[in-house]
Amino acid sequence: MFDRNLLQENVSLKDRNTYRVGGAARYFFEAHDAEALQRAVQEAHKNGMRYFLLGSGTNVLVPEEGFDGIVIKADHQHIEVQGDEFYADTGIPMGALVAQAASLSLSGLEWAAGLPGTLGGAIFGNAGSHGGETKDVIGEVEIFDPAHGIARSISAKECGFGYRHSAFKENGGVIVRAVLRLEKGDAAAITARMKENMNKRIAHQPLAQRSAGCVFKNVELAASREGSELARTHADFTAFRDARFLPAGLLIDKAGLKGTRAGGAMISDKHGNFIVNESHATADDIIRLIAIAKAAVREKFGVRLEEEIRIMRSKR
Ligand SMILES: Cc1cc2nc3c(=O)[nH]c(=O)nc-3n(C[C@H](O)[C@H](O)[C@H](O)COP(=O)(O)OP(=O)(O)OC[C@H]3O[C@@H](n4cnc5c(N)ncnc54)[C@H](O)[C@@H]3O)c2cc1C
């Protein structure tokens, strides 16, 4: 059973996502420990209620109509450190893990300095930056199966990690805990790398404005015929000929879209792959800009952009 004292009704999600847009959740439950998270998911499943697991809301777009089901906020934050390994609940902010790693002279999370969101969100999307990815440090993941009411551990291999991808995007798996494998390193070197990565973020991302990070995935050249053709032949993109990706932000920039506005939202003039809520934007404003960017890049360069952000949809 849900702890009825903690189950809230008609809760605005506006303050629970970094775009600061969207409607309300019909039900909202904050899970402060792993058991509460599992019980909430199981209860929703038993009652045939649609549920959405929310981390810090730094990579979701909440529609104006809100969510007609239960939003379960993963806020369980227990952690145990054993040698070079973290046994961590997935509601923990990545920032806390990065800080803990630095203070223990553990290397492996330098790339994540300044990465917003929880460990669960990072595993779900295999978040990455500055050449590192979440998968690089994952040993095992504990997932919960609401149909059978059991939790089990799976290996990193079974998580099906790829570029901004995990199997959880397809199977809706509930990620409860994870084992992070780090390595003893030099404290000063670790801190220096973290600082350098943080400074790159400050230089390139519109951090003072409300956003959900990169809206689109970069174009993987090995998987996109149009993308690799463009990188071979188009003067604006040949610098990426031998790279793994064509940056989506550059495609949007070269399509002349930086600074494009819809209502209170704008394609950032600092980074083409960010949409920012400049002033009282709605989710619909952001959705309009997403459509504009996709259509323009497709028309101009023949390349299909795919969303990295998740849209919280009530309908199956
Ligand atoms: C300024 C800014 C900079 C950013 N920079 C980067 C970057 O450099 N690299 C990058 O990869 N991303 C970046 N992001 C995006 C975002 O920070 C990451 O995707 C982050 O990992 C999302 O975590 P979250 O807890 O906020 O997840 P949420 O946004 O709350 O959720 C994202 C998805 O994860 C699912 N999810 C969350 N927790 C669980 C769980 N326990 N079990 C199952 N599913 C779960 C949700 O259902 C949802 O589908 C940035 C965002 C911002 C705002």
Residue nearest to atom 36 of ligand 1 (CA): 121
Which residues have C-beta within 8 Å of that of residue 56, sequence separation ≥ 6?
A: 18, 93, 116, 117, 118, 121
Q: What is the mean pLDDT of residues 186-192?
A: 97
* Spatial separation of the C-alpha atoms in residues 117 and 102, rounded to whole Å: 18
**Domain 206-311 top-level CATH class:** alpha beta
> pLDDT per residue over 79-126, tens digit each?
999 999 999 999 999 999 999 999 999 999 999 999 999 999 999 999
Residues in the chain: 316
Could you tell me whether strands 128-129 and 132-133 are parallel, antiparallel, or unpaired per DSSP bridges?
Answer: antiparallel
Ligand 1: which residues within 6 Å by Cβ? Answer: 18, 52-60, 74, 90, 115-118, 120-122, 124-125, 127-129, 168, 174-175, 205, 207, 211-213, 310
Q: Is the pLDDT of residue 137 over 60?
A: yes
Rounded to the nearest 10°, the torsion over CA 262, 265, 266, 267 is -100
Q: What is the pLDDT of residue 314?
A: 75
> 7-74: which CATH topology?
3.30.43
- To the nearest whole number, what is the mean pLDDT of the chain? 96
Residue with the smallest CA separation from ligand 1 atom 4 is: 213
Q: Is the pTM of this model over 0.95?
A: yes
Q: What is the model's pLDDT at position 316?
A: 44
Residues of the chain with CATH 3.30.465.10: 79-201
Return the sign of the alpha-carbon dihedral for residues 285, 206, 279, 259.
Answer: negative
Q: Cβ distance 266 to 276 under 8 Å? A: yes
For CATH 3.30.43.10, the residue range(s) in the chain are: 7-74
Distances (CA, A) of 45 to 11, 68, 150, 175, 299: 20, 14, 13, 15, 43
pLDDT over threshold 90, residue 4 = no
Q: Which of 124, 204, 205, 210 to mutate to test the pocket of ligand 1 (most atoms within 8 A of CB)?
A: 124
Ranges of CATH 3.90.78.10 domains, the chain: 206-311
Summarised one tens digit per residue, pLDDT across range 233-274 is 999 999 999 999 999 999 999 999 999 999 999 999 999 999
Please give the single-letter amino acid code of residue 103: S
Nearest alpha carbon to residue 133 among 162, 173, 105, 155 = 162
46 vs 38, 143, 146, 284, CA distance in Å? Answer: 12, 18, 8, 33
Domain 79-201 top-level CATH class: alpha beta
